[in-house]
Amino acid sequence: MAPKLYGSVRSIATLRAVVAFHEKCVKFEFVPLNLTTGEQKKEPYLSLNPFGKVPAYVDGDLNLFESRAITKYIAFEHLGKGTGLVYRDLKKMAPMSVWMDVEAHQYDPVATKLVFEQAVKPFIMKMKPDSAVVKETHKKLGQVLDVYEARLSKSKYLGGDEFTLADLHHLPSMQYLKGTSTKRCSKLAPM
């Protein structure tokens, strides 16, 4: 039986797990949740993710939540399939882990705020973006991307010389930002 991924195709976090499945060439069953009606905040979903967020992963008696934990599990569970996504060598794994943390703590909070202002508000909520927030957040993202450009001048990918989870975790938000005034992401990650 294929593992199940519960989430929304509009969710950056859900899309991280979807991309990991595809990179590993692993079949899975997608169980869509209606975030607009708050389906993720009610039972039976809360038994899968007590925080009422997406995604959640179920494979037999294994239940995971938090997208980065799910992608790590997928990468290690399916080491021999598709794209590697992780290193087996600890000295290569360590810098990859650093850049995974950088994505989670430096890049993602800023990028997610821009996605909300430039994609979610105008296209989903039918609201006008807050231009002051966009301007301030562009500046913060620029500082993060300056560090990324320095790293990428020395390494083919953020996590090393191979495409890893450190890079994959950026893809959903970068894809959203490509359709906005945040053009710099397109230069870093052409898709």
Give per-residue pLDDT as tens, 124-177.
889 999 999 999 999 999 999 999 999 999 999 999 999 999 999 999 999 999
Report the interhelical angle of 131-152 vs 108-115 (nearest 10°): 140
Whether 148 and 169 map to the same domain: the answer is: yes
pLDDT digits (tens, 9 = 90+) for 109-121: 999 999 999 999 9
Please tell me the distance from the alpha carbon of residue 147 to that of residue 114, in angstroms, as a whole number.
18
* Number of domains composing the chain: 2
Q: Which residues constitute the domain of residue 168? A: 90-188
Last residue of a domain, one of 51, 77, 103: 77
Q: Tokens for 181, please give them.
A: 């005034």
pLDDT digits (tens, 9 = 90+) for 35-82: 999 999 999 999 999 999 999 999 999 999 999 999 999 999 999 999
Whether 121 and 60 map to the same domain: the answer is: no
- Which residue's entry shows tokens 């894809």? 175
Read off the pTM.
0.93
Give me the pLDDT at residue 95, please.
97
Give me the pLDDT at residue 190, please.
47
74, 84 Cβ separation under 8 angstroms: no
Of 15, 57, 65, the closest CA to residue 173 belongs to 15
CATH code (residue 68): 3.40.30.10
CA atoms within 13 A on the CB side of 115: 20
Whether 174 and 128 map to the same domain: the answer is: yes
160 within domain boundaries: yes
